[in-house]
Chains A and B, each alone.
Chain A
Amino acid sequence: MNAGNAKHDYHLADPSPWPFLGALSAFIMVTGAVIGLNGKFDFIGIPPFVRPWIFGGGAVLTLASLAGWWRDVIVESVRYGEHKPVVKLSFRFSMVLFLVIETVFFAALTTIYFGSALFGGAAWPPAGLIPPDPWRQPLLATLVMALSVSAAVWARRAVCRGDKSGAVLAISAAAGLSAIFVALLIYGLAHAPFGFGFDGARMVPLADPAHVNMVSLIGAPSAIFSSVFFLVLGFFALRSVVGVALWTVAVFRALAGHLTPERHFGLTAAAWYWYFGAALWLFLYISIYVMGYALAFSGR
């Protein structure tokens, strides 16, 4: 690479098309999403059946840009040895910041849950709503999550020992268990005893001229529980899918011999990501599944 006559260990990246292509794909994806979501409106005559494909194409392009970018980074690390200790330290800083960003994001998503539960004034969970039983599929998911964390710890130990076959086995176990966790989570979301959101309720603007700015509420106040439930757990499922992808890539990198005792930040990042997810899951499991269920049957 173009280390030239640099007398330092920092990594000077070569010109790369991926950032621009990533931003362009994000633009296509986002525009396609807005166009696809507004089926009732006309966009310069784009026929409705084309619209989801704009979003889908943009999403595929975005993923392709990220994959190409990631491939470049792996090549730089493995073939050119660009990731000196100081570069890895930057990776660590950014990974920690990423987890901070995720913490704030999930905290913001759950504010309405705790706001309603603690300060809402009304019954929580809303009257008439039975949350899913925490001792069935969610408990199983928790156990699988615990096993996957154990596999992650095992994988890092194996890599640090230089035990290649053990590392492949452990990372494969982590990948498989995390995939089972995601499947259980999505199964639970699909079989939740309530639907997403409004249940046919809506706001109707008042017709009489004296109250044009007011609406009448034709609704089910319980819709807030399902809204938050699906938003929070849906985003948790999404970030878990990313975790499965990280583990899967780590399996292939272990098979290719990329993970050495000295150089395995890809695995470390995947493990940090997954440990954080485990802590977050424990928090969500207790506060949404267990507390929600317990409050629903606390003899109010």
Chain B
Amino acid sequence: MTDAGSVRDDAPRTWRRYVYAVSHRDIGIMFLCFAALAGIVGFAMVLSMRGEMMEPGLQIFRDSRRFCVLDTGSGIVTLFFCILPAAVGFGYWLIPLVIGAPNLAFVRMGNLSFWLMPFAFAVFSLSFCVAGDAGGSGLCADWTLSPPLSTYGSPGPAADFVIAAMLMAAVSLLLAAVDFVATILNMRAPGMTLSKMPLLPWSLLIASFLIVLATPALSAALIMLLADRHFGATVFNPAGGGNPLLYRHLFWYFGNAAAWASVLPGIGMVGHVVYAFSGKPGFGRLGIVYAMIALAAVGLIGWGRHLSTAGMPFDLQAFFLIVGLAVAAPAAALIFALVAVLWGGSISFRAPMLWAIGFLPVFAVGVLSAAALNGGVGALLHGSTFETAGDGYLVVFGPAMAFFAGWYFWFPKFAGYRWSDALAKLHCVLTFVGGNLMLFPLFLLGMAGMPAGAADYPAVFAGWNHLAGVGAYIAAAGGGVFLIGLFEALIVRRRAGANPWGTGADGLEWTLPSPPPYRTFDQLPVIR
């Protein structure tokens, strides 16, 4: 026991601090490190595939089945083990600091939600070592695990390991979402009403509701898949009166909501960055909140755009067409609100701001392609690389830009050191140029009729595919610059101080030392 009033640092020592973690920041940094490692694995998979696609014919892969295994795996790694855990990690690290709470509502539950992730990833990795189908090891199916490819098309245990890993990841996401909602609704600092709450907790609150309302449907669908595979059920099997289309409805009900749940936290973070560096008072914050709620609402009911060739009834198609196009309105409101914040400000182009400005066009392209993949046009482009590019912009590239904006914005708070501004900007330029070069040609290829997930293609598609491969290598170089910058920042140790960004950064987290002590807000801050 120390004297009253002194800062008591009772952090557990060594491995216990992380394995038995009960600090939201320890859990958050573990989540972020895990997401970064999974991101490296996922991007390595994508890089090998883009390298293969640079020329027609097979150069890197021995057969197209191995390509298919990586194609299946990379989607799952990217969404379940990189983008969503990264959003969760930022949430764990930042929510209590931003709303002025000493810790999470359920910090042990948060620790469980983290430790489920590496174990889920281990289960997922086992799938590469065991038989998938007659062709060899690993699961070669659609990354959405649609039956019948994932049922009698892949009789081996590889599919079971993937399903089990996704179930564990789903439980992890649900625990995190419940934790976030309880923390945000119940533990805000005295005086911080919901209308005064900053954008990041708002975006994570909305995303958490999306996860709570959508993820159980994925769990149910995966359990029914297992029942079909091993217990003789026929839920997705027409031979027993079942309906394989149902799986696609259930999966995309989750998948579409999860896509928006991965974008929303990014929007919240970009909001913080834009407010901090625009050099003028924040504008339209509540409007941005309402737009995010609207985006989540249409995201929750608009899954039909992924099923445009599934033969739905005409009325249902019309409904999903309208909902799918309606996504554009709140997204446009968000973009215009953020641009209006910039308008007439004395903008300070620090590295996080560069990332935030880069996020806006990437997000716009993602939303526009999501709106384009609807109705008749959607039916034409469905299953082509246009869809790959659209999902890539919306679910991977956009959130990645936003998460790096948030990373560079809050890294001084995380670590206590400043990142080299030049390296962060170089990383931004390489990622922006490389990501666009990698994904935009896929729009053109998709419109020309190139199918997604193919290892080989006719020579007429060669030019754009080569360019996409070059883009992938440029983005990978950006990743290398990120790692160099990380080591540089940790070795050179430029002290950040409590607030390295100046008066624009006016959140509660900047009132604390960097890095914050183990225990924060023993005396709750009061908001006026």
Contacts and interface: CB of A to CB of B under 8 A. Distances in A.
B112 A231 contact: no
Given A34-B164, A201-B239, A4 B519 contact: yes
Interface in B54-102: 101-102
Contacts of A2: 10
A161 interface: no
B216 A221 contact: no
B250 A108 contact: yes
Interface string B128-164: 0011000000000000000010001000110011001
Interface in A131-176: none
A10 B241 contact: no
B41 interface: no
A17 B114 CA distance: 13
B138 to A, nearest CB: 14
A13 B186 contact: no
Contacts of A87: 105
Interface stretch (A91-99, A182-190, A252-260): A91-99
B284 interface: no
A17 B20 contact: yes
Contacts of B106: 90, 94
B34 to A, nearest CB: 12
Interface stretch (B220-228, B301-309, B436-444): B220-228
A20 interface: yes
A197 to B, nearest CB: 3
Nearest to B232: A197
Nearest to B220: A108
A298 interface: no
Given A23-B112, A108-B220, A203 B187 contact: no
B240 A219 contact: yes
B314 interface: no
A231 B111 contact: no
Contacts of B235: 112, 224, 227-228, 231
Q: For chain B, what secondary structure do more than half of its interface residues adopt (helix, strand, loop), or is it mixed?
A: helix
Interface in B508-524: 519, 521-524
Contact of A14 (B22, B214, B216, B250): B22
Contacts of B523: 7-8
A284 to B, nearest CB: 15
A30 B235 CA distance: 22
A220 interface: yes
Given A5-B4, A16-B111, A116-B243, A196 B232 contact: yes
Interface residues of A, number: 74
A297 to B, nearest CB: 20
Interface string A13-34: 1111111101110110011011
A100 B213 contact: yes
A111 B223 CA distance: 14
A225 interface: yes
A33 B164 contact: yes
Q: Which of A15, A26, A90, A105 has the most CB of B within 10 A?
A: A15
B497 to A, nearest CB: 25
Contact of B240 (A27, A33, A201, A230): A201
Contact of A101 (B152, B212, B229): B212
Interface string B235-257: 10111111100100110000000
Nearest to A12: B103
A8 B105 contact: no
A30 B164 contact: yes
Contacts, number: 245
B130 A223 contact: no
Contact of A224 (B213, B221, B241): B241
Given A90-B186, A197-B232, A221 B103 contact: no
B348 interface: no
A101 to B, nearest CB: 5
B116 to A, nearest CB: 5
A69 interface: yes
A265 B8 CA distance: 32
B237 A111 contact: no
A294 interface: no
Contacts of A215: 148, 152, 239
Nearest to A44: B129
A53 interface: no
A31 B123 contact: yes
B240 A197 contact: yes
Contact of B212 (A24, A37, A97): A97
Given A38-B156, A111-B249, A30 B130 contact: no
B108 A69 contact: yes
Contacts of A101: 174, 178, 212, 215-216
15 contacts: A10-B105, A18-B108, A19-B20, A24-B119, A30-B167, A31-B126, A31-B161, A34-B123, A41-B131, A90-B183, A90-B187, A116-B243, A197-B231, A215-B148, A217-B238
Given A26-B119, A197-B232, 8 more contacts: A4-B8, A4-B519, A4-B522, A90-B182, A101-B174, A108-B221, A196-B233, A197-B227
Interface of B: 1-2, 4-5, 8, 10, 12, 16-17, 19-22, 101-103, 105-109, 111-112, 114-116, 119, 122-123, 126, 130-131, 148, 152, 156-157, 160-161, 164, 167-168, 174, 177-179, 181-183, 185-187, 212-217, 219-221, 223-224, 226-227, 229-235, 237-243, 246, 249-250, 519, 521-524
Please provide the 4 A-B residue pairs with the shortest distance between their CB atoms, ordered closest to farther.
Answer: A223-B240, A197-B232, A219-B239, A224-B241
